Amino acid sequence: MHVTLTINDTKHHLELDPRVTLLDAIRHHAGLTGTKKGCDHGQCGACTVMVNGRRINSCLSLAVMHDGDAITTIEGLGTPEALSPLQAAFIETDGFQCGYCTPGQICSATAMLEEIRAGWPSHVSETLDGPALPTEAEIAERMSGNLCRCSAYPNIIAAIRLAAAEREDAA
């Protein structure tokens, strides 16, 4: 089937088996292997990308469902020469060890901070009406769909808080 995916502002015209997941399309057909496959079952979050600004597990979605969608992967957030604030913060706080879950963590965190900014409540929010704040508890709750077996969790929270604080300072 023919599918057009806009990944990191570049259009990819792909001829795909309908069984190809969005994750495998990004990795094997668009050649962007920064997005990782940890479980292929929507259980670990390593494959998190943003579709039209929202974070999703790309392994749980078929590529053919995303014709025309705008997808942002880890490669679209920054490069080694021009890191995004979250990418820089992950390095500074050692928010990873093996690095395999890291692209998913960073994509997830990027969208998660927007969710907080938009006032979306979480399971640990005091009220449903907001405002939501990037506290340790909120971040831990909202990032619990992204597993890290190296268990860099305390450093991941530190990275996200660092990036969030820098953004507040800049605003």
Partner 1 sequence: MTREMTHAMTHDGPDTDHRLDGMAQGVLGRPEPRPEGALKVTGRAVYTGDQQVAGMVHGALVRATITRGRVTTLHSAPVLEMPGVLAVIDDARLVRFSGQGATTKPPAGDAAEVVYHGQPVALVVAETLEQARHAALRLRVDYAEEPGAATGPEEPAAEVELPEKKQSVTGEPDAALEAADAVIDRIYRTSSMSSAPMEPHASLAEWQGGKLVLHSTLQMLASAQGQVAAALGIEAEDVRVLAPHVGGGFGSKLGISPETVAAAIAAQRLGRPVSVVCSRPQSMETTSRRSETLQRIQLGADDEGRLTMIGHEALVSNLPGQKFSEPVQQATPFTYEAAHRRVVHRVARVHRLLCASVRAPGESVGATAFECAMDELADKLGMCPVALRLRNIPKLEPGTGRPFSSHKLAEALTTGARRFGWEHRHASLRARREGEWWIGMGMSSLVRVNTVMEAKARVTLSLEGSALVETDMTDIGTGSYAILTQIAAEMLGLPMGSVETVLGDTDLPASSGSGGSFGAASTGSAVYLACLELRSKLAEAMGCPEPELTLKDGHAIHDNRKVPLATLMGGAAMQAEGHLIPGEAEDKARQATWGAAFAEVGVNAVTGEIRVRRMLGTFAIGRVLNAQTARSQALGGMIWGIGMALTEELVHDARDGHIVNRDLAEYHVPVNADVPALEVHFIEERDDWAPMQAKGIGELGICGAGAAIVNAVHNACGVRVRSLPMTVDKVLAGLVEIDAEAQ
Contact residues for partner 1, defined by CB under 8 A: 17, 19-20, 24, 27-28, 31-41, 43-44, 46, 73-75, 77-80, 83, 87-88, 90-92, 94, 96-103, 106, 136, 139-141, 143-157
Shortest distance in whole angstroms from residue 137 CB to partner 1 = 8
Three-state DSSP state, 72 = strand
Nearer to partner 1, 6 or 33 (CB): 33
Comparing CB distances to partner 1, the nearer of 34 and 121 is 34
Q: 4: which 2 tokens?
A: 């057009």
Tokens of 45: 């979050």
Alpha helices in the chain (DSSP H): 22-24, 74-77, 85-93, 102-117, 136-142, 153-170
The nearest distance, CB 47 to partner 1, in angstroms, is 11
Smallest distance, Å, CB 129 to partner 1?
22
Total residues belonging to the chain: 171
What's the rounded Cα separation, in Å, for the pair 112 and 134?
9
Lateral strand order in the sheet of 70-72: 10-15, 2-7, 70-72, 48-51, 54-57
Q: Provide the minimum distance between the beta carbon of 80 and partner 1 in the complex, in angstroms, as a whole number.
A: 4
Measured CA angle at 83 (ends 146, 170), to 5 deg: 95
Q: Which is nearer to partner 1, 46 or 165 (CB)?
A: 46
Q: Quick one: 148 or 171, whose CB is closer to partner 1?
A: 148
Per-residue DSSP letter, 16:
-
- Cβ proximity to partner 1: between 20 and 162 the closer is 20
Distance in Å, CB of 54 to partner 1, minimum: 19
